[in-house]
Structure 1
Amino acid sequence: MNSPNMVIVYVSDVARTVDFYRQIFDLEPTAFPSPGFAAFTLAGGTELALWSGHDGALEGDPVRTSEVVLCLTGGPEAIETQHRDWKALGVTVLEEPHDAVFGRTSVIADPDGNRIRLAPVD
């Protein structure tokens, strides 16, 4: 069976967003960065790609219907600690830590408004 192995996030400035994801995930891009594309290899070999080559993808006020999620072990304390660490970097906070049906969570945004959620490991 074929399995998806890449998620693409549309961004306006790949270099700026690479720096952002480097800081929050402590990862280096693995695919050759170019002015319009870079990728980070995640757990299991899936790639998180940043792409600015899709004309018009960010025009107007695009609806954000997906999220990049970092699931953490360590309970609510781990979510709170990671949120504080990210907030200290000056990120845009969309949702302060709160309890949801699946546990403690919070949401920040990358420079283009793409959502990044902290959540507990199930």
Structure 2
Amino acid sequence: MSEFSFVLLYVADAQASGAFYSKLLGRPLVEDHPGFAMLPLREGVMLGLWARDTVEPLAAGTPGSGEIAFSVADADAVAATHADWKARGLAIAQTPTAMNFGTTFVALDPDGHRLRVFART
């Protein structure tokens, strides 16, 4: 079986989304051209940002219907990340909350994709 290596989000503006994720995650873009941008999430896993109106075949679904999750060490790290992202101006869809799997919060990217940060309990 092939290794998982790529997450792709359909976005309104690939360059704006590329700049957003590069700044948020502190990672450089490795591709940036009209309609597409890409950066590493971690070793061997890339995040692609493809302009929704240029995807072939045409993508179904609504804008902002994806979610990327980031695991952190503990509830304190969830709270610290929440404070940092809120200070950066990210829209927060869910403040830090204890759920059955752990502590989590959800922010939104410019297209409304959900960015979940969580620590398992």
Q: TM-score, normalised by structure 1?
A: 0.85
4+ runs deviating over 3 angstroms: 55-59
**Residue in 2 aligned with 1:54?**
55
* 8 Å CA contact retained: 1:11, 1:58: no
Superposition pairs of residues 94-113 of structure 1, within 5 angstroms: 94-113=93-112
| Deviation by residue 1:28-49 (Cα, 9 ceiling, x = unmatched) | 112x211111111122301111
Change (3 A) 1:42 1:97: same
| 1:9 counterpart = 2:14 | no
Change (3 A) 1:58 1:91: farther
What one-letter code is carried by the residue in structure 2 that aligns with 1:8? L
Change (3 A) 1:120 1:11: same
**Residue in 1 aligned with 2:35?**
36
- Residues in 1 aligned to 2:60 and 2:16: alpha-carbon distance in whole angstroms: 15
Change (3 A) 1:104 1:121: closer
- Residues in 2 aligned to 1:91 and 1:71: alpha-carbon distance in whole angstroms: 18
**Residue in 2 aligned with 1:78?**
77
* 8 Å CA contact retained: 2:102, 2:119: yes
Mark the runs of 5 or more structure 1 residues left unpaired by the alignment. Answer: none
What one-letter code is carried by the residue in structure 1 that aligns with 2:20? F
Change (3 A) 1:91 1:36: same
What RMSD in Å do the two structures reach over aligned CA positions?
Answer: 2.1
Identity of aligned residues (%): 31
SS at 2:20's partner residue?
helix
- Residues in 1 aligned to 2:69 and 2:78: alpha-carbon distance in whole angstroms: 12
What one-letter code is carried by the residue in structure 1 that aligns with 2:85? W
* 8 Å CA contact retained: 2:64, 2:111: no
- How many residue pairs align between the two structures? 118
- Residues in 2 aligned to 1:62 and 1:12: alpha-carbon distance in whole angstroms: 8
